[in-house]
Structure 1
Amino acid sequence: MKYTLRQLEVFLAVAQSENITRAADQLSMSQSAVSGALRDLETQFEIRLFDRIGKRLQINELGRLLRPQAEALLERASALQQSLQQHQAIGELKIGATLTIGNSLAVDLMARYLKQYPEARLQLKVGNTSSIAEQLLNYDLDIGLVEGEINHPDLDIQPWLQDELVVFAAPDHPLASKNLLSDSDLLSAQWILRESGSGTRQAFDWALHGLLSSLNILFELEQSGSIIRAVSSGMGIGCLSRIALQESFDHGTLVPLNVAGRDFNRQLFIALNRHKYQSEGIKRWLQLCHE
């Protein structure tokens, strides 16, 4: 065999960091050892996996083609080593979650996972749907739990849970006394919403099709907590997942508003990179999500 697993580790580390120094730090190797391993790999097959742009190495088309195969091979080699050692450790799992899921569902899932597999190591990264998709495509995450729909040929999007968005206001807001809001009520209000690119905003835009261009949007914020505080102070009305609002509804600090003729139901999804090898840890996390 003309290549080594170490060379593949170097290739993937450089592909991720686009820098020899950072790759060397990641692998606890010297810079010269990293450069030599990458050079040997390319020389043995008379190929180039990166374009050299100053001190930066940018993965080229061939490198992008080979990257998922190298990733899968190293995952399998690691799994084989664990089996040979008769070691049942799950290892590290990098989970990405959109804001509502990250704050309300993911932590509970992590606690249940660690109760079953206490030897596992979990990382949670929270961002909007587009950010989670980008990290999955770049192999920075193993699993994504997202609120918005994603259309990308390299991502496997699986339906997960049903959710509902709720329009809400402070109890003393003028619209809080109305039994049912009409389109004219929605157009008269000041709105405080999630930012474009978030799954919550995507579902809101679908629900209010035909009115979007005429809505009075006061703020667009990235944090649900900031939206809740702004709406509580009477600055306007908002629309978030019932999951994020239920506690405020229970305490009476916010009230739900009923909207006529608008569908605020939505689907939550699990997202995976189609080309990434599904380790035992990924399989057990997926099993937990569907229990």
Structure 2
Amino acid sequence: MKLSLRQLQIFCAIAQQGSTTSAAIAVSLSQSATSAALNELESALDTRLFDRVGKGLVLNNNGQALLPQARSMLENALQIENSFLPGHAELKTRLRVGCSTTIGNYVLPLILGELRQSAPHLRVDVDMANSMAIARKVADFEIDMGLIEGPCHLPELSAEPWLVDELLIVAGQRHPLALKSQVTLDDLRTAEWLLREPGSGTREEVEQLLLRHLHDLAETRQIGSSEAIKHVLAQGIGISCLSSRVVRDLLTSQDLIELPHALPGLSRRFFLIRHREKFISSGLERFWQSCTQFASQS
């Protein structure tokens, strides 16, 4: 066999760090040894994996194709090592979990609290980003699984429907629509809407739900987090459609008002996602079960 796991580990480190100098620090080698390992790998594969841009290295098409395969092989090798350690070694390994921001702020802390009681040796590192970015990281084996706010469109991923999330149309108490006893479809259509960025699960779901009934939104403004949106709303600026989990506190304080409208109830599903070829360790299975148990109790 021409390839070694060490070469693949170094390749992944260079892809992440962008240079052999930084990668050498990450893998505890000299810069010359790191460069030599990359040269050996490219020679074994008879292809270049990076484009040389100035002093940096950028993955080319060949490198991008290899990266998820290399990460998968390294993951499987790590699981083999762990399976032969004494005791419950798999539950002592770290999981890398990605989640969208609403889940990360309002749902995941509750699951981690339960895990600390039932599986105290399980460590979970959390990566928060929008749903599209999390799905891409799961597909590339950068993280073990994802918890996202909308359906997943990548064929290499398995997606399991999870929580049902109620969506509310809200505005600040000083907004003109907050004073109306009934908000019409035309009111909603012509209002200034505050929406998440493209790629957000919230943005995708809200647009699908609203446009089904309103057909068009006359004016929209993009803001990069639901937390920021709700605080801008509280200043009387615009209206939005957000998770009830996100706005519960400001509804209680009456800084936000749920607008009375004629639309049917709005809701969406959260999803659990993982790569179809992902090795399911006992630690990952335990975390997945905790997520499904949380849904059954909610």
Shorter-chain TM range is 0.7 to 0.9
Cα distance between partner residues in 1 of 2:280 and 2:239? 43
Q: Is structure 2 residue 215 aligned with structure 1 residue 216?
A: no
- 2:109 is matched by which residue type in structure 1? V
Corresponding residue for 2:50? Answer: 51
Q: Is structure 2 residue 175 aligned with structure 1 residue 176?
A: no
Q: Is structure 2 residue 20 aligned with structure 1 residue 20?
A: yes
Q: CA deviation at 1:183?
A: 0.8
Mapping for residues 6-85 of structure 1, pairs under 5 Å: 6-43=6-43, 45-48=44-47, 50-54=49-53, 55-85=55-85
Corresponding residue for 1:117? Answer: 119
Uncovered stretches (5+) of structure 2, i.e. residues with no partner: 294-298
Q: Is structure 2 residue 285 aligned with structure 1 residue 283?
A: yes
Corresponding residue for 2:132? Answer: 130
Cα distance between partner residues in 1 of 2:157 and 2:131? 13
Cα distance between partner residues in 1 of 2:207 and 2:19? 40
Cα distance between partner residues in 1 of 2:269 and 2:13? 35
Q: CA deviation at 1:205?
A: 0.8
Q: CA deviation at 1:135?
A: 2.7
Mapping for residues 142-153 of structure 1, pairs under 5 Å: 142-153=144-155
SS at match of 1:158: strand
SS at match of 1:233: coil
Cα distance between partner residues in 1 of 2:73 and 2:195? 44
Cα distance between partner residues in 2 of 1:12 and 1:287? 30
- 1:189 is matched by which residue type in structure 2? A
How high is the sequence identity, in percent, across the aligned residues?
35
Q: CA deviation at 1:64?
A: 4.3
Mapping for residues 259-274 of structure 1, pairs under 5 Å: 259-274=261-276
Cα distance between partner residues in 2 of 1:20 and 1:162? 46
Uncovered stretches (5+) of structure 1, i.e. residues with no partner: none
- 2:271 is matched by which residue type in structure 1? F
Q: CA deviation at 1:279?
A: 3.2
Corresponding residue for 1:242? Answer: 244
Cα distance between partner residues in 2 of 1:266 and 1:244? 14
Report the CA distance shift for 1:13/1:276 in structure 2 as closer, same or farther (over 3 A): farther
Report the CA distance shift for 1:175/1:203 in structure 2 as closer, same or farther (over 3 A): same
- Normalised by the size of structure 1, how large is the TM-score? 0.87
